[in-house]
């Protein structure tokens, strides 16, 4: 049984991935939660140096229910018990650096400790359920997400989607927070400006942009798409053959290297298996140059619909 976290009074509460977080550091773009007790506390505090890192040449170590990391020029972070993140800031580190690690790597460790599988994917809600698009950084997830949202689909996550299992093991997508993190280049191509937007890092041209359409409830997953950039002149969209599916989902578990240390490898594998049993997987190979976001989005939606139609009425 997880113990309720202790926290200082008068610290704001935020909602993310379906739980409530109390944080002594302002978390831009996370919606405030005015009611309810916090499930997780983020607070400054001493985090001891990790002199006996079990894995060599790493800046982090993971054990069951405990993750500790040092980020150069930023600070040390300890995520424990699925309900607490302590951070010890280094001199000169600004809030944006600390928040970037809290909402990125530390959140991934926290999700795992709470048995929410973090999948490196963006996510939107369609009428038939959540649609996830996963891919490595630089593959074009943000662009594709922009296209899907331009078609009126509400966003659920911009970079990491949480996955839990509902009744009878049905995979559900858990929404992250109502903002996208976009490079100036992508913002401009999607027709947005950068004026007044908070930066992800003060020295980077990457911005948080609050989204209007955000779906804040968990949803059954309709499909998962693996996006990759290729040399091909035309985009191709096809189902992923069954033999590759578990490997493909496993590869995109965000910070999957933590699973071993936290003794969660089996859970991670079983989660991937459970996902591919219930969710169709597709691969979109897109040309590496600029493709209109809406065209990418339509390729995905049309491809999924065609496949669903084929399954409903086989020839």
Q: Closest separation between CB of residue 255 and other proteins, Å?
A: 6
User: Nearer Cβ to other proteins, position 215 or 255?
Assistant: 255
DSSP for residue 168: G
- Least Cα distance to 246 among 281, 216, 218 occurs for 281
d(CA 19, CA 117): 14
Secondary structure letter of residue 187 according to DSSP = H
Question: What minimum distance in Å lies between the beta carbon of 105 and other proteins?
Answer: 5
Q: Tell the smallest beta-carbon distance from residue 186 to other proteins (Å).
A: 7
The alpha helices in the chain, defined as continuous H runs, are: 95-101, 107-113, 141-150, 184-189, 242-251, 258-261, 265-278, 293-312
Enumerate the β-bridge partners of residue 134: 121, 226
CB atoms within 10 A of CB 296: 24
Q: Nearest distance from residue 233's CB to other proteins, in Å?
A: 7
Nearer Cβ to other proteins, position 185 or 241?
185
Q: Which is nearer to other proteins, 10 or 231 (CB)?
A: 231
Least separation, in Å, of the C-beta of 205 and other proteins? 4
CB of 34 to other proteins, least distance (A): 30
Beta strands in the chain (DSSP E): 13-16, 19-23, 40-44, 60-63, 66-71, 75-80, 84-89, 117-119, 121-126, 129-134, 155-157, 161-165, 171-174, 179-183, 206-210, 219-230, 236-239, 281-287
For residue 7, what are the CA distances in angstroms to 21, 24, 39, 85, 304?
10, 9, 10, 11, 46
Neighbour-count burial for 171-182, b at 16+ CB within 10 Å, e otherwise:
bbbbbbbbbbbb
Instruction: Tell me the β-bridge partners of 228.
Output: 285
Smallest distance, other proteins to C-beta of residue 64, A:
17
Q: How far is CA 38 from CA 6, 93, 103, 175, in A?
A: 9, 27, 16, 17
- Smallest distance, other proteins to C-beta of residue 69, A: 6
Which one, 132 or 182, has the nearer CB to other proteins? 182
**Interface residues toward other proteins, by CB under 8 A:** 56-60, 69, 71-73, 100, 104-105, 108, 136-139, 183-186, 200-201, 203-206, 229, 231, 233, 255-258
């Amino acid at each position: 049984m997880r113990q309720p976290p202790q926290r200082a009074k008068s610290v704001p509460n935020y909602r993310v991935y379906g739980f409530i977080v109390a944080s002594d550091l302002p978390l831009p773009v996370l919606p405030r939660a005015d009611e309810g007790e916090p499930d997780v506390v983020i607070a400054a505090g001493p985090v001891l140096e990790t002199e006996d890192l079990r894995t060599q040449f790493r800046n982090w170590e993971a054990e069951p229910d405990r993750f500790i990391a040092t980020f150069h020029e930023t600070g040390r972070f300890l995520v424990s018990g699925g309900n607490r993140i302590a951070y010890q800031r280094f001199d000169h580190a600004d809030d944006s650096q600390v928040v970037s690690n809290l909402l990125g790597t530390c959140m991934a460790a926290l999700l795992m400790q709470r048995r929410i599988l973090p999948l490196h994917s963006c996510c939107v809600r369609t009428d038939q359920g959540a649609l996830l698009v996963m891919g490595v950084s630089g593959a074009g997830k943000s662009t594709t997400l922009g296209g899907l949202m331009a078609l009126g689909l509400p966003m659920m996550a911009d970079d990491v989607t949480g996955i839990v299992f509902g009744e009878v093991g049905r995979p559900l997508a858990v929404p992250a927070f109502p903002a996208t993190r976009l490079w100036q280049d992508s913002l401009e191509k999607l027709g947005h400006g950068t004026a007044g937007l908070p930066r992800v890092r003060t020295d980077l041209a990457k911005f948080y942009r609050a989204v209007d359409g955000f779906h804040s409830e968990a949803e059954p997953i309709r499909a998962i798409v693996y996006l990759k950039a290729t040399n091909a002149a035309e985009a191709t969209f096809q189902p992923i053959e069954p033999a590759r599916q578990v490997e493909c989902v496993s590869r995109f578990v965000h910070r999957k290297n933590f699973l071993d240390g936290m003794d969660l490898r089996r859970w991670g594998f079983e989660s991937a298996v459970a996902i591919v049993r219930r969710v169709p997987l597709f691969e979109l190979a897109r040309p590496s140059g600029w493709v209109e976001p809406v065209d990418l989005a339509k390729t995905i939606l049309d491809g999924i619909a065609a496949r669903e139609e084929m399954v409903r009425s086989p020839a």
